[in-house]
């Protein structure tokens, strides 16, 4: 589970990156899930977009992809969404530490 500071940090990192995942009229197919899986392994943080012709909303697409790829939804704005999953073997992003209660 991401804290609000970690979410804000990931949002700042995601701002300049390109959208690499497109969900179109076919919705979330096995190909889209595989593409998201590969991209998360390589990059840890990805940005996706849902086209207007898609049968799912950006929130639904982000939540479904997050559950199928064991990642977390960072943010959903309009038709765009961001997903994050830490690469255990070769981490590229170091998140701010969560404060202990």
Helices (H), 15-99: 30-43, 58-69
- Enter the tokens of residue 18: 């390109």
Q: What is the dihedral of CA 4, 9, 11, 15, to 10 degrees?
A: 160
Question: How far, in Å, are 37, 96, 99 from residue 33 at the CA level?
Answer: 6, 28, 33
- CATH fold of 4-84 reads Translation Initiation Factor IF3 (3.30.110)
pLDDT by residue for the chain (101 residues), tens digit each?
A: 888 899 999 999 999 999 999 999 999 999 999 999 999 999 999 999 999 999 999 999 999 999 999 999 999 999 999 999 998 888 888 888 876 66
CA distance 95 to 84: 11
Q: What is the pLDDT of residue 101?
A: 62
């Amino acid at each position: 589970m991401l804290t609000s500071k970690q979410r804000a940090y990931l949002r700042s990192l995601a701002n300049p990156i390109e959208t690499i995942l497109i969900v179109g009229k076919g919705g979330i197919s096995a190909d889209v899930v595989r593409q998201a899986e590969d991209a998360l392994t390589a990059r840890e943080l990805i940005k996706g977009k849902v086209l207007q012709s898609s049968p799912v909303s950006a929130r639904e697409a982000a939540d479904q992809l997050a559950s199928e790829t064991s990642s977390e939804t960072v943010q959903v704005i309009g038709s765009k969404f961001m997903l994050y999953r830490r690469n255990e073997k070769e981490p590229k992003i170091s998140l701010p530490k969560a404060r202990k209660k």
